Structure 1
Amino acid sequence: MLFGIGYDIHRLVENRKLVLGGVEFQYPLGLLGHSDADVVLHAICDALLGAAALGDIGEHFPDTDPRWKGVSSKVFLLRVVDLLKERRCLINNVDVTILAQRPKLGQKKIEMKKNIAEWLCIDVSRVNIKATTMEGVDAIGRGEAIAAQAIASLCEER
């Protein structure tokens, strides 16, 4: 069994869409980044890449490359899945914690789970999404940023 950990954080700004786990939120602020800045998918990508010892998201999709400007992070995740297949790694499960003071995620977590399971080609029961606030502490707690942590486990095909 192989394990990897991922983390991502982006600042909230005006005039950007807020996308988390491939789900668009109706919210006045969005995450600032070169791509759509989906911290959930970015953290998952890093966890998967880490488990397979394939580097990190910045190596594969650098923010200096104009090809990735404004692109959906789903593109990144699907490419990571392809890399894992080439490496003969099977995804066992993914667990994500979203750190956000707001918006409240509620039922959107179910949509995120379905998206992620579909894109990773695993059963939805193998994807877990949790959320927590920062109780008003730091940039996340002040509503200035959103972050996500992820852990993934892989099995190597024999």
Structure 2
Amino acid sequence: MASVTGSSLTSFSCFFKQNQAPTRISSPNSVSLSIKGKGFTSLRSYPVPHRFRVSCAAKVETVDKVCEIVRKQLALPAETAVTGDSKFTTLGADSLDTVEIVMGLEEEFGISVEEESAQSITTVQDAADLIEKLIEKKGA
């Protein structure tokens, strides 16, 4: 049994088994779960007055594909770590590189990213989340 409960804007508890003590995390931005070696989708919390919302982040496959595209667009060496938390600026991207990354993502995933949305992308995870949101909207 798994459940997530919130007690305030800054903490929540996760229960995975009946006999397991809860894991308490304060001020989370992103949490990735792994139980018995199996990975699960990352969770992100977004504070809202008097409550919080937990939403599932992009699929691992989407994040991996975005990592590949970012690595290719920035011509990064194989030993450079690119993960969901990687910021484009930290990887050496300037504004033109970011535009090229977005264009590469649009081409790869068959989507169109509005300029307003593109400006909010700062990490690989942000890009993957936006891609899945646009793909879902496109399919609806």
Both structures adopt the same fold (TM-score exceeding 0.5): no
Question: Which protein, 1 or 2, shows the higher relative CO under an 8 Å CA cutoff with sep ≥ 6?
Answer: 1
Largest Rg, 1 or 2: 2
TM-score interval (norm. to shorter): 0.3 to 0.5
TM-score normalized by the length of structure 1: 0.30
TM-score normalized by the length of structure 2: 0.33
Greater fraction of residues in strand: 1
